[in-house]
Structure formats: structure tokens, C-alpha cells
Chain A
Amino acid sequence: MSDVLKRRFTEQIKIMFGWEPRKPEKITERAQQVHIMKRMTNKQDLQATKSHMRAHEVKSTKWRNRRWITLIAANLLFTLSFSLDIQILEGALTASRFVGFHLIDLNSALQVMLAHKHIINNLIIGTGTVLLLWGLLGGRTFCSWVCPYHLLAEWAEKLHLFLAKKKLVTDQTMDRRLRTVFWVIFALLALGTGYTVYEAISPTGIVSRALVYGPGLALLWVLALLFFEVFFSRRAWCRYACPIGLTYGVVGIISPVRIKYKLDGCFHEGDCRKVCLVPHVLDTVIKGRAVDLEVPIGPDCTRCGLCVDACPTGSLTFEVKGLQKLL
């Protein structure tokens, strides 16, 4: 990895913890050339090509469909395993067994370890398998491909954007460092009180249990969160609060599955950033910011694939590091 990409890599980790993306300090020679070329290109020609691309653009929902199917199937498997007693995926998202293998949500496991200060074998095994799984698939893949609250929030976000377009609501942004602060607060609360405080309000756990064991009044808290997201702040919980996302983000820092950005064909229209759930990771697509011809997207990316679907020029694609030549 070149120095420039290394620098970007650490920068992206800071961005995951809440810092705002900045203009890169160094850009490779070849990327700089492309940037200059893009500046020199005849604006009218560029505009014409853009319009042409737009006209022939096929709106794709390939990755969104795959993701929704995966997410619904995973959660349905939990539900059916209990309701039909098929025993494939027993438990709920906080901890489960997949055909006998222990799987334990990393954040829940962490909360229990901090609160109880005692770790038994099953807890280690379950945490280990999940660590391996999401380490390989990419940390925040969990968020967009499995978390049931994510899907609800995704629909709430659509509603929010619709209302915002009608000028009925505005998006009240907040400081993204808050998520890191919450992570620390919940860890300290668990450690100090000996009680898993976060688990009481975790919408992921509440929705998952509601799907498996039937709805309860705890869903009112989830409804309140969705209400807040629709009328006040776009996707507030996932962006500014949820410690699960950060935990998995850290796990996925070195994951081989990721989105890759290619500078060459990009027209910098910004469609990707409009659909992106975590647009701060796509700062590299802004004109003049890409540090190299090919830039991997940072660890806070949920690998939802919305940008891949949205990109009219195919500049954003899924990539499996090391396997690209085989695939």
C-alpha cells in the first residue's frame, strides 16, 4: 500500500470515530494527472457525455434487493426456527446457535463481559465465530445486511427524504463524534454498574426479540426512535448513537470485502452520496479529492451497495481484496 493510501486509511478510521473528512494533503502523481485532465476537459463535452449517460442510465436495485432478501431471510430464519421448531438458527440476534454453532453479537458480548466480568467458554466461542465472520465480511456489513432495525430505519429514511422534499421537515444534523461518546458511556456504565444498561434500549435486540418471541411494549421505544428519524433527524440512531455499528466498524477495519472507487470514469455527479447511509465515507468521490486512481472506501461503510446501484458510470464496485483476480 502506498504512503498516500496508508495516510487515507488512518484518516478513514478517524472519520469512523466521528471526525469530519478533510481535503487530502497528498495525492499520487497519477491521480493528480487525472484531476488535472478533468479540469482541462471541455466543459461542454463533459456536460454532453453526462447527459448522454443520464439518458441511457438504467436504474438498478440489484444490491438493494439482494440485501433486503438476505436481511429478511436471516431474521425470518430466527423467527421460523422457534415458531416452526426447525431449530436452524435458535435464539435472537444478541446470541444464537446456528445448527449448533454459537454466535454472539459482539457488542452484547462486550456489554456482558464488562458488566459480569466473567467469561465462560460458550461466550468465547460465540464471540470468536462472529468476530471471524464479520472480520471477513466487513464489519458494518452486519448493519445493512442483518440488523432488523436497519431495515425499519431505511424505510423511515425514505419517508423522511420524501417529507424533506415536500419541505415539511428538515434534516437536523448532529455531531457524529456523539456515537463514539455513547460507546464509551455505555461501556463505562456496564463496567461501573455491573448491569448491561445498553441492552435495555438496544433497538436491534428489541426488534429481534419481538420478531422471535412476539411483540411487546418495548417496541414503543423503537417507534419513538423511528418517529424522531422521520420528523427530525435523518437516520439519527444509526448515525449518532448506535454503539453496535461502531463495534462492528472497528472489527471490519481490515476486512477484505469492501467498496472500491475508481477515479477514471467518475463524473462527480454525487448520486452516490445522496443515497449513501454514511456519506462521510464517500468524501473521496468529491471532485479533486481522490488520492489515487483506485481508492477503497473506509471502514464505516456498511457495504449496503446503494452507491454501487446508484453510480451511472460503474465507478463504485464491490471488491474482495486478494480474490479480485479469481472472481
Chain B
Amino acid sequence: MSENEKDDGPVAGPTPPLSKAKRQTNRRRFLRTALLTGGVLGAALSGFLPLIYAKKKRLRPPGALDEKDFLGSCIKCGQCVQVCPVSAIKLADLVDGMGVGTPYIDPRRQACDFSCDAVQCILACPTGSLTYHKPDFLAVRAGAALKAKPILLAKEKDAEPTLNMTERIGVARLSRPEACLATQGKGFKGQARGADFTGELRYMDVDRWKPIRVSEHPYDVPECDLCVRACPIKGAISIETVMAPNGSQHKSPVVHEPCVGCGVCEMICPVEPACITIEAGEVWKI
């Protein structure tokens, strides 16, 4: 960037033909420019990985649009992360393959227990990636819509007991029935996930506004029903007596239509790995 000290007139004359050296410099500059273009575009293509990985469903925060629309609309600001009282929402990193900076929930580590009472992440979202109602031009997949607004057990006695969610983010499924303590007729005593588990949950009998660590709230139940006890949604799960194919009867957790896919049952399940898991993006099938 040397200063042009040459003193010539204000009006430029006709352009003289370029010297060989100048042409070479120009060519090299062109090659470098092409190189940078390739490099940056190459890196940008890595941005498509989440679209490829999108086939594998991830649990997004409540009110999330369907994966492709979600990836298109999320501005990656993390305001949903900031309002969550139990820090259930995390932002994806480069290697997670679901869009750098997009929010997701790992329910086994920390599920959404609606401690905020109002699905505040939806309120915080500036772009409508998380929304109570999908815009008209986006179709609601069959079975994704909830039949009724889910009733939050914590607010059951309030004038407005419902969560304003209209669509589920997933459905809980008993994925390992053979390991389920209830199915085996076993009880459970102690800390649900061990002393080291950092996950938090709202226990209404302890404090409505302050979720505490699951490890600080040991259980002692003759027949394990932790998933039912912890579930924040009314009528989403219950322990039923079911008939096995061989005719024998046993107890088992059964998931019902109001299930929104929050993941509390997956987080609290004392068996390792969890017997009950969330199928992200799954719809209700009768």
C-alpha cells in the first residue's frame, strides 16, 4: 500500500497495454482469488451436513418446526437457551451434524420439564422457528397435532392449566420393555440416576419455582413408576396391566395421546440405558 507520490494530472489518459510482469501478477491474483472462493465454498458446503443428517431425527425444543423448516428459519442466537430454567436446551457444535449453533435437547441428560410454566423458549424465539402455531403455508403432519392443549400437572389448579403447545416434538416409547422394572414387578429405592447425575427436575411438593437436582430427591417405591410420577403432562403416561402374548399378565408403562415428547420419562428412568426413550419428531399413531 505504498503512497502514490507521482504527480500527474487529474484526467487519466488512454490505458496503456499491460506489461508482461503486470499480466503475470494479475494471473496470480486471479488464481489466488479462485483458491479462496473454492476454500470458502468448500467450507460452506459443510453447512449441508445437517440437511443430510436431518434424516436422523433430533429432539428440538418445544414448538419447533419440522426439521427442514427449522434449519431454514433458526437464526442461531440461543435466546431459547437463555430462558430455559433447567438448561435443557443446548446448541449444536460443528461435529454434531445438526447445524452449528442450532438448539436441541438431549433428554437423557436434561429433559424439558416445563418448569417455566409457559414454554418460554417459544416466546423467546425471534424468527418463529419455535412457535405455538405453524404459519398457514406449513403443513401439520398427521399425528403431530395434539388433540387438546396439554394440561400441565403443575398448573392443574390454575385458571389456565394448559400449555399453549399445539404440536408434539416427539413421542415416548417403551424401547426396552424387557429391562423395565415395572414390567419385572420390581420396586426402586435410592437416587434415580445416581449421585453424580446433574439433571434437574421440578418437584411440586418441594418448590414450584425452583427445580432441584434429581440426585437430591431419592425415591422409595415398592413398584417402579418413576416415569409416571415425573411426567409433567396430565394423562400422558400411566402404569397399566398388560397381557403378554403367552397369556401372562404384568405391569407396564403405557404412553397415551397427550404425550408431547418432553423427555422427562427418559431422563428419570433408573435403568441404564433408559427403558423408555423419546422418538424425536415422531407422531401419534393409533
What is the interface of chain A, defined by CB distance below 8 A to chain B?
22-27, 32, 35, 39, 81-82, 90-97, 102, 104-105, 108-109, 112, 115-116, 118, 120, 122-123, 126, 172-175, 178, 181-182, 185-186, 189, 193-201, 205-206, 209, 212-213, 216-218, 220-221, 233, 236, 240-241, 268-270, 273-274, 276, 279, 286-289
Knowing A217-B95, A233-B32, the reply to whether A104 touches B75 (Cβ < 8 A) is: yes
Q: How far is the CA of A212 from the CA of B90 in the complex (A)?
A: 12
A-B contact count (CB 8 A): 193
Q: Which of B5, B128, B138 contacts A120 (CB 8 A)?
A: B128
**Segment at the interface with A among B40-48, B155-163, B210-218, B231-239:** B40-48
Given A96-B79, A195-B51, A279-B126 contact (CB < 8 Å) = no
- A101–chain B nearest beta-carbon distance, Å: 11
Question: Whole-angstrom distance between the alpha carbons of A240 and B47 in the complex?
Answer: 20
Return 15 A-B CB contacts under 8 Å, by A number.
Answer: A90-B82, A91-B82, A92-B76, A108-B76, A122-B126, A175-B29, A175-B33, A189-B44, A193-B48, A193-B51, A195-B48, A195-B72, A200-B50, A233-B36, A241-B36
Contacts of B19 in A (CB 8 A): none
Partner of B128, one of A24, A92, A123: A123
Residue contact A213 to B91, C-beta cutoff 8 Å: yes
Rounded to whole angstroms, the CA-CA distance of A123 and B126 in the bound complex is 6
In contact, B127 and A201 (Cβ under 8 angstroms): no
The yes or no answer to B10 lying at the interface (CB within 8 A) is yes
Task: Mark out the residues of chain B between 12 and 26 whose CB falls within 8 Å of any chain A CB in the assembled complex.
Answer: 12
B94 CB-CB contact with A under 8 Å = yes
> Quick one: closest A residue to B83, CB to CB?
A90
**Chain B 51-86, CB within 8 Å of chain A: the 1/0 string?**
100000000000000001101111111110111000
CB pair A286 B3 closer than 8 Å? yes
Contact between chains at A95 and B100 (CB < 8 Å): no
Contacts of A39 in B (CB 8 A): 7
Max chain B C-beta neighbours (<10 A), residue from A115, A197, A200: A200
Q: Is the CB of B37 within 8 A of A196?
A: no
Q: Which of B1, B79, B100 contacts A279 (CB 8 A)?
A: B1
From A25, A104, A116, A233, contact of B11 by CB (8 A) = A25
Max count, chain B CB within 10 A of own CB: residue among A35, A116, A185, A186: A116
How many angstroms from the CA of A194 to the CA of B66 in the assembled complex?
13
Set of chain B residues within 8 Å of A97, measured between Cβ atoms: 79, 126
Is B36 a contact partner of A200 (Cβ separation < 8 A)?
A: no
In the complex where A195-B48, A200-B99, A221-B94 touch, is A126 in contact with B73 (Cβ < 8 A)? no
Query: Contact at B100–A218, with CB atoms within 8 Å?
Result: yes
CB of B246 within 8 Å of the partner chain: no
**Interface: B209 (CB within 8 A):** no
Q: Do residues B127 and A95 form an inter-chain contact, with CB atoms below 8 A?
A: yes
* B30 part of interface (Cβ distance < 8 Å): yes
B10:A32 contact, CB within 8 angstroms: yes
Q: How far is the CB of A180 from chain B (nearest CB, A)?
A: 12
A181 neighbours in B (Cβ, 8 Å): 37
How many angstroms from the CA of A218 to the CA of B36 in the assembled complex? Answer: 19
From A82, A123, A126, A201, give the contact of B43 (CB < 8 A).
A201
Are B33 and A241 in touch, CB under 8 angstroms? no
Q: How far is the CB of A14 from chain B (nearest CB, A)?
A: 15
Known: A175-B30, A178-B33. A90 touches B2 (CB 8 A): no
- On chain A, the residues within 8 Å of B72 by CB distance are 112, 115-116, 194-196
| A91/B78 in contact, CB under 8 A | yes
Contacting pair B93 A217 (CB below 8 A): yes
Q: Are A200 and B46 in contact (CB under 8 A)?
A: yes
- Measured between beta carbons, the chain A residues less than 8 angstroms from B3 are 268-270, 273, 286
Known: A96-B77, A240-B36. A27 touches B41 (CB 8 A): no
A218 with B94: CB separation less than 8 A: yes
Chain B residues contacting A94 (CB-CB under 8 Å) are: 75-77, 101
Q: Does B4 contact A (CB under 8 A)?
A: yes
Query: By CB atoms of chain A within 10 A, which of B32, B68, B76 has the most?
Result: B76
| B127 lies within 8 A of A123 (CB) | yes
B36 contact set on A, CB distance < 8 A:
174, 178, 233, 236, 240-241
Contacts of A112 in B (CB 8 A): 72-75, 127
The one of A24, A95, A174, A197 in contact with B44, judged by C-beta atoms closer than 8 angstroms, is: A197
Which residues on A sit within 8 Å (CB–CB) of B247? none
C-alpha gap A189/B82 in the complex (Å):
30
Instruction: List residues of chain B with CB within 8 A of the CB of A220.
Output: 94
Most buried by A among B2, B93, B135: B93
CB atoms of B32 and A205 under 8 A apart: no
Known: A112-B74, A118-B137, A206-B100. 6 other contacts (CB 8 A): A22-B12, A115-B73, A123-B127, A201-B47, A221-B43, A273-B1
On whether the beta carbons of B79 and A95 are closer than 8 Å, the reply is yes
The residue of chain A having its C-beta at the shortest distance from the C-beta of B41 within the complex is A185
Q: Which of A91, A172, A198 has the most CB of B within 10 A?
A: A91
Compute how far the CA of A36 lies from the CA of B222 in the bound complex, rounded to whole angstroms: 101
Cβ A197 vs Cβ B48 within 8 A: yes
Q: Which residues of A contact B1 (CB under 8 A)?
A: 270, 273-274, 276, 279
Q: Are B126 and A95 in contact (CB under 8 A)?
A: yes
Q: Which residues of A contact B131 (CB under 8 A)?
A: 120
Write out the residue numbers on chain B whose beta carbons fall within 8 Å of the beta carbon of A93: 77
Measured CA separation A209–B131 after assembly (Å):
23
A-facing residues in B87-105 (Cβ within 8 Å): 91, 93-95, 99-101
Across-interface contacts of B245 in A (CB, < 8 A):
none
Given A23-B12, A27-B10, A201-B46, the answer on whether A209 and B78 have CB atoms closer than 8 Å is: yes
